Structure 1
Amino acid sequence: MATDLWMPAPVCLIENSKGQLTVNQEAMQVLATMTQPVVVVAIVGLYRTGKSYLMNKLAGQKSGFSLGSTVQSHTKGIWMWCVPHPKKPNHTLLLLDTEGLGDVEKGDNKNDGWIFALAVLLSSTLVYNSMGTINQQAMDQLHYVTELTERVRVKYSPSTAEKEDSTHFVNFFPDFVWTVRDFTLELKINGQPITSDEYLEKALKLKEGTSDEVHMFNLPRQCIHQFFPKKKCFIFAPPTYGKKLAQLEKLHDSELEADFVEQTENFCSYILQYSRVKTVQGGITVNGPRLENLILIYVEAITSGDMPCIENAVLTLAQIENSAAVQRALTHYEEMMNKRVQFPTETLQELLDIHAICEKEAIEVFIKDSFKDVDQKFQNELASQLEAKRDAFCNQNLNESAQRCRALLQDISRPLEEGVKQGFFSKPGGYGLFLQKKQELIEKYKEQPRKGVQAEETLQEYLKSKEDVAKMIEQTDQALTAKEKEIAAERMRAQDAEAAARQLEEMQKRHQEVQEQKKKSHLDNVKEVPARVEAEVNRWRKRVRKLF
């Protein structure tokens, strides 16, 4: 707990109003902030016996807990004061001052037993404060000890009537310190000096016998022996005399009796040096939040008419703490995953590797904050929830990959889509051109980085969505190509016919020319015949003349 969070003054922890015990939320908020181990010292005793003075001294202050200056009891319920432990670094000294037992103003003392029981349950050191001497009257006033077995259980039993073995309590109860105020006798037995501890042991010595009187004498002593094996006693001389007592908190040590000052110092030194850290069953160290939960569990049991059960309280505390530890571990896992994962990951294994690291850290957080996880129930629950969160991150990875890939395809395919819309491919050969553009789109898409695990599936999904468009373009291409071929064939036939006609015409023209040439030649021949005949005749006449 940070220095600025130390409590400047006590606050009421458990209010006792009109016979009802209620938890003060302000005090709970203070406890919730204290992560350090706590050493809890509680003081109980009759009202107006100077309990608050000793607690203020333990806090290193002259004032704090209300001392009062009259016979009226000032402390109602249980008050709490948290200060840095002067002997144990990084520990908190938590002081509990209880209302005076046997306050005549309350009329009904039924809550005294519960105040005493709570002081026992919550403390690691219990201080019982009395006046004068340890005599039978002082023992009778400590009847609250004998009632503990009727108010507190160590183990849960379905039968509330079943009396629990009182020896079980010794493992869970605090150390016991008896402070005797205004002690004026000499510490001697048979003229020999004794220590205050020896004085206590003598006062707690049992009588032999079986009578009711002996039983009643021994009962509180037996309970103290059984419940509190570690006992210590301090005696205090009167601090001062007369009217000064009413201003005790204002007096300097030099104004008090020297013996009282020394005895107070010895008491404080012992408490600060030997008081243990508060623990629960299994040796689990208690800090502020754990003490907060214990208080809530015990007070709820009391107010509901049940008996506080130490074993149940620890199990409930374990459930509360372990549930909170599971949540802290899950929160840590989510924070680390969100910090380390850049969605979408290129591969699933990349995500699973990061998950494994974060999962390990989360389990370490749980183990650090948990205790008494019987059969690893909560750790298994954590593992199950981590698995679910891993699956959720995998699904997120899939979704983000798919979203990125769809966005990429939407951007890359815009020219292709626009071409389809404008009928660019609705022509002979358009299908081949469409396939070419589609292949260019695929290659450009595959070049894009960090598409993630859905890259191929999203691409195939897109291509599948374009199958109908591709089929339509192919059919259009085929139809247009067939028509074009028919037109070309018709054109070719026309051209062939035209060529044949020209050839026929040429042939006819050549034939006509031949005929005309023949005709001309014939006419020419006809014209030359008489001349040739006449020439022949003349030639023959000449030959005949020569012969004759």
Structure 2
Amino acid sequence: MACGGLMSAPVCLIENDENGKLRVRKEAKDILDGINQPVVVVSVVGLYRSGKSYLMNRLAGQQSGFALGSTIESKTKGIWMWCVPHPKKEGHTLVLLDTEGLGDVKKGDEKHDTWIFCLAVLLSSTLVYNSLGVIDNTALEKLHYVTELTENIRVKAEVGQHENESADFMRVFPTFVWAVRDFTLQLIKEDKAITSDDYLEGALELKQGSSPQSEQYNLPRRCLRNFFAVRKCFVFPRPANTEDMWRMEQLTENELDSKFLEQANTFCSYIYNNSETKTVSGGRTIIGTALGNLAEVYVEAIRTGKVPCLENAVVSLAKIQNVRAVEEALQIYMTELFNLIHLPINPAKLSIIHSATEKAAIDIFITKSFNDNDQIYQKELMGKIHEEYQQMCQQNYETSRMQCEEVLRDVFDRLEKGISDGSYLKPGGSQKYTDMLRQLSEEYRARTNLQIMSEEVLSKFLKTKEDIGNMILQADESLNSAEQEKEVEKMKTEILKQQKRSLKEQNRLQEQAFKDMQRTYDENVNHIIYQIEREQDRMRRDNERVLEAKIRENKALLKLGFQWEAARMQSEIDSLKAEMVKDKSSQPSKLGRALNCIGMATTLLAPGFTPKMIGVGISMVSNFV
């Protein structure tokens, strides 16, 4: 499913255990764990036997799948899930949730229905409410679950009223789509044609008065207006003749009512094009694996008798997702690195492979991490990757050293034998020794020219031969004292030259290490900037959507004469505008803090002389953010 594979059929996501308590089914959780794409989640709720499942099958592009049933029994139990590649959004997965029919008296547990409704609201980015007939007071009374949302769902962890609680709910609640089935009325009001959206908004108009009857009448309408910023309505005529309704799964499109088919296609097109990616508080995008964990967090709260809280869920989800993100990203890095590298290897090539595998690991981490605001887990991953890379570099050095030492022993074996048998302790022996040393050094370099430790191994070897060389010079009776001193100086000069070659070699390794650290920093910064900008853009859009809904609602209240409520709504609008200005002004500092966090991590990780240099560079970058 990570690549958008198809599920052949729906599976149960949430069911009742043997004790009648809700639980997340492992089979469905495993499927979601394999989805690393952002998910668009569409849930359908409604009274049992109202045709909910047919619409979901249409969205899946299938004739059958979710059980339709052909009797008066409710077929769907719990919440069923079907994941398919999104037909319009490349790189996204469409997750369809078909819920257990509400209001089945045989269940005898109305609280169970309430939790099913709440879970559908909490998990979806679009909530489809399916009903039969018309939208009237009876239909709205049957949607009483919406009036219980504030009792059964909390946005903030802190108990109590918040200044703009309605806006808090609006930001995180899904788009609300009312699908009215078997609709037989004409969309006409005061002799003028109206849209289905006008029909819905008209049905949600509040009634003047403060009597208990008026309050009861207004309550579900207020909840829908105050919780769901985007509302949409579709009205469907009867799909087929009564005698054919029981075999809906077998009916071809030619056998369906043409107007029903047209509206069904319009409905699917709207869902595909307008349903947003699932997010939680702060505009944080949810991928499949996070959706599965989110479902478990909410269900666990319900099982233990707690009220599901979005803020707490974000905290719990962050810990689950981020620990896993670090583990999986590190596993990707190590697996790819070990599969691609055969030691010893040229440091530049090792760096290229490290760069590619590190990028793959960071991509996985960014995809799977969640709400890592202080980059705690990203820094942890940076540290672990750095440690693995340093170990790999060290192994590379040691492997190269051992191979160079093996070549050196083989090449200089003739020199060692000559020293042992005293071949150089004769007149003219020093020249013979020097020539042999130079000849064998060139032969050694030719055989180890691609090895990174070649010069260092040779440098150490020549240093160990300094005393022997001096002894041979002193024993050479063909040289006078002045010539001996001159040869000693020449030998020291050669050793110094060799040490410089070795130092140059080590400097190249240090420069490569610096480049690796700088690239790591750049890679992490680019991901942070992208992630923060994406979240801020989604937060901005969510706030704008809520603001538009509040302004629209305020106008409706004024038109209906609800002056006091309109004044309160205006206060909420002003508060929301101020909050949006504050959020915008805090964006640069949030980005700056993130860069400083990554900068400090890079400084601590950099080897050798690089920490100070990198640290200075990062501080300069942060000051300009």
Q: Same fold (TM over 0.5)?
A: yes
Provide the C-alpha distance between the structure 1 equivalents of 2:265 and 2:309, rounded to a whole number of angstroms: 36
Aligned to 1:117: 118
CA, structure 1 residues 4+96, in 2 after alignment: closer, same or farther (shift >3 Å)? closer
Match runs of 1:57-456 below 5 Å: 57-157=58-158, 159=159, 165-189=165-189, 192-327=192-327, 330=330, 334=334, 335=336, 339=340, 343=344, 357=355, 361=359, 365=363, 369=367, 372-412=371-411, 448-450=447-449
More deviation, 112-121/87-96: 87-96
- SS of 1:105's equivalent in the other structure is coil
How far residue 457 of structure 1 moved from its aligned partner, in angstroms, is 6.5
Question: Aligned equivalents of 1:440 and 1:83: distance in 2?
Answer: 70
* 1:128, distance to aligned residue in structure 2 (A): 0.7
2:152 aligned partner, one-letter code: R
Correspondence list, 1:520-539, <5 A = none
Tell me how far apart the structure 2 counterparts of residues 409 and 85 of structure 1 sit (CA, whole Å): 62
Task: Give 1:98 deviation, angstroms.
Answer: 0.5
Secondary structure of 1:83's partner? strand
How far apart in 2 are the matches of 1:455 and 1:265?
71
Cα distance in 1 between the residues matched to 2:240 and 2:406: 88
Are the equivalent residues in 2 in contact too, given 1:344–1:398 (CA < 8 A)? no
The question of whether the paired residues in 2 share the 8 Å contact of 1:85 and 1:91 is answered with: yes
Is the alpha carbon distance of 1:307 and 1:450 closer, same or farther for their aligned partners in structure 2, counting shifts above 3 Å? farther
Change over 3 Å in CA distance of 1:410–1:304 after alignment to 2: farther
User: 1:81 is paired with a residue of what secondary structure?
Assistant: strand
Given that residues 127 and 177 in structure 1 are in contact (C-alpha distance below 8 angstroms), is that contact kept between their aligned partners in structure 2?
yes
The separation in 2 between residues aligned to 1:241 and 1:207, in whole angstroms, is 38
Residue 363 of structure 2 aligns with an amino acid whose one-letter code is V
Identity level (%): 50
- Which deviations, in whole Å up to 9, do the C-alpha atoms of 1:475-515 show, x marking residues without a partner? xx9xxxxxxxxxxxxxxxxxxxxxxxxxxxxxxxxxxxxxx
Q: 1:439 to 1:62 in 2, by over 3 A?
A: closer
| Counterpart-to-counterpart distance in 1, 2:32 and 2:350 | 40
Aligned partners of 1:340 and 1:354 also within 8 Å: no
| Post-superposition offset of 1:465 | 9.6
Partner of 1:505: none
How far did 1:165 drift? 2.2
Q: 2:127–2:174: 8 Å Cα contact kept in structure 1?
A: yes
AA paired with 2:297? I
Q: CA deviation at 1:80?
A: 1.6
Q: CA deviation at 1:319?
A: 4.7
Q: How does 1:34-45 map to 2 (within 5 A)?
A: 34-45=35-46
- Aligned partners of 1:75, 1:26: CA distance in 2, in Å? 17
C-alpha distance 416-89 of structure 1, shift in aligned 2 (>3 A): closer
Residue aligning to 2:31: 30
Amino acid at match of 2:397: L
Larger Rg: 1
Give 1:373's aligned amino acid. D
The Cα of 1:114 is off from its aligned counterpart by 1.9
Say which is worse superposed, 292-301 or 218-227, in terms of deviation: 292-301
Q: 1:235 to 1:365 in 2, by over 3 A?
A: closer
Deviation at 1:173, TM superposition (A): 1.0
How far is 1:8 from its partner? 2.8
Q: Secondary structure in 2 aligned to 1:306?
A: coil
Please say which of residues 363-372 and 198-207 is displaced more in the overlay.
363-372
Question: Structure 2: any 5+ residue segments left out of the alignment?
Answer: 476-625
Displacement after TM superposition at 1:365 (Å): 3.1
Q: Deviations over 1:77-115 (max 9, x none)?
A: 111223344444554332211111122232223222221
The DSSP-based 3-state class of the residue aligned with 2:9 is coil
CA distance in 2: counterparts of 1:325 and 1:314, whole angstroms = 15
Q: Residue 112 and residue 465 in structure 1: after superposition, are their counterparts in 2 closer, same or farther (change >3 A)?
A: farther
In structure 2, do the counterparts of structure 1 residues 367 and 446 end up closer, same or farther at CA, with 3 Å as the change threshold? same
CA contact (8 A) 1:149 1:166 kept: no
Q: Shift of the alpha carbon at 1:63?
A: 1.7
How many angstroms apart in 2 are the aligned matches of 1:337 and 1:136? 67
TM-score by length of 1: 0.70
Distance 1:162 1:449 in 2: 75
Q: Following TM superposition, by how much is the alpha carbon of 1:228 offset from its aligned partner in structure 2, in angstroms?
A: 0.7
Q: Deviations over 1:288-313 (max 9, x none)?
A: 33433333333333334433332343
Aligned partner of residue 177 in structure 1, secondary structure: strand
Note closer, same or farther for the CA distance 1:448–1:304 as it changes in structure 2 (3 Å cut).
farther
Contact 2:49 2:101 in 1 (8 A): yes
Consecutive unaligned residues of structure 1, counting only runs of 5 or more, are 478-548
Cα distance in 2, alignment partners of residues 3 and 337 from structure 1? 24
- Deviations 1:216-258, CA, capped at 9 Å, x for gaps: 3222211111111211222233334544322232234454445
